[in-house]
Structure 1
């Protein structure tokens, strides 16, 4: 059973860009077109908002998790209001601000320093669900940091325990972002800082046509065809509609 994990309310953040064509999923856009790749990014964001929202947690634990806080951490800042209008009511929007990815991760963790455990994910892995977030929270009850490694060498999730709010910069220093060593370098930084790390299962971000096709195959294998109300059934149908 999923449980609450910390005396202070935990916080989930999802980093995402607004879905302006040509500014999101550009590698995918090289094969399916920039309009369709932007639609795909929007679909992933709204799917995560549904599957990680209050209703999803209530279904999992038979309890509405009213004290759970959820944010989409959005870029560019000028599009935060438009982003907010498309989200369910249980999500709020915060701005990413300027700088490289490390700067923006640091800024979010610092701005939420009074919260309990904090977990930040990207919007490129739409199959992250409440079970995985629960696993991350459980890990933070025992370890300082939790990371979800991605197949490309980065990570799809980073979490900090409630007692390590001030130490996030130590994790993100001297990282060359968007390279295959991001996860390894982050683990190295944690070791040098004396921070213990828990690791989640490896997952694949969806940034290219090969990764998109792999996701479609995965969904077709594991989604019950008759379960029309399952979020992943709808995700598959909407992905195929965009590509048609």
Structure 2
């Protein structure tokens, strides 16, 4: 057991349940293809890490993913409660520093994760800000339930509201580089992730055309 833990939140890759905002433009099949690629990137980013990992799936454990790591299912009525429970389980198990990431970041790599853990050496909390006003990484050196309670999830002021509350309570916070997650079609087409993946582009063009045809 290491003193640091990396938690990964993963949605089960099931048609019609992933990247629903993106699916409104390119259809469920297109969103499925995009999210499948993003999960591969996340798995690659965590593969080389030497610290312990816990993978939390949204509905059911997928044994073929993160084959050598601890896997379980998220528990809670909303995102905040699910994240809080995952952190609580980690601290109860004896970990001293914990970071949690999602699985829809095309630019995530192991350096972002290790930087988050390093920031916890001098801060109580660390965030990896997302361009949409949320965050792609949250890290704690001790459990802080306020971060996960009564917050505007999926809103553009999520990080701002959270930081204001932490600063008002004089809790030290570190921040990492800003990254962009993929929530919409506009996010997708401007990303290097999409521009550099010709196979994915071909699939998305086809899926989007099929989707638009069906919508007529």
| TM superposition score normalised by structure 2 | 0.86
RMSD over aligned Cα, in angstroms?
2.0
Number of positions where the alignment pairs a residue of Structure 1 with one of Structure 2: 203
Give deviations 1:175-234, integer Å, cap 9, x for gaps: 1211111101111222233320001111111011110111147854xxxxxxxxxxxxxx
Which of 115, 132, 141 pairs up with 2:95?
A: 115
Which of 120, 139, 152 pairs up with 1:176?
A: 152
User: Within the alignment, does 1:71 sit opposite 2:54 as a pair?
Assistant: yes
Match runs of 1:45-194 below 5 Å: 45-54=39-48, 57=49, 65=50, 68-76=51-59, 79-80=60-61, 83=62, 85-113=63-91, 114-161=94-141, 164-165=142-143, 168-194=144-170
Residue 224 of structure 1: aligned partner: none
**Distance between the aligned counterparts of 1:13 and 1:48, measured in 2?**
11
Task: Judge conservation of contact 1:172–1:189 (CA < 8 Å) in 2.
Answer: no
Residue 239 of structure 1: aligned partner: 200
Which of 14, 19, 29 pairs up with 1:20?
A: 14
| TM superposition score normalised by structure 1 | 0.77
Q: Displacement, 1:146?
A: 0.3
**Distance between the aligned counterparts of 2:39 and 2:124, measured in 1?**
28
**SS of 1:52 mapped into structure 2:** helix
**Distance between the aligned counterparts of 1:88 and 1:170, measured in 2?**
30
**Structure 1 residues 195, 14: CA separation in 2 closer, same or farther (over 3 Å shift)?**
same
The runs of 5 or more residues in structure 2 that have no matched partner are 207-216
The runs of 5 or more residues in structure 1 that have no matched partner are 1-6, 58-64, 221-235
**Distance between the aligned counterparts of 2:106 and 2:68, measured in 1?**
18
**Distance between the aligned counterparts of 1:71 and 1:46, measured in 2?**
16
**Structure 1 residues 192, 174: CA separation in 2 closer, same or farther (over 3 Å shift)?**
farther
Task: Judge conservation of contact 1:70–1:90 (CA < 8 Å) in 2.
Answer: no
Task: Judge conservation of contact 2:15–2:32 (CA < 8 Å) in 1.
Answer: yes
Q: Displacement, 1:45?
A: 1.1
Task: Judge conservation of contact 2:41–2:108 (CA < 8 Å) in 1.
Answer: no
**Distance between the aligned counterparts of 1:47 and 1:86, measured in 2?**
15
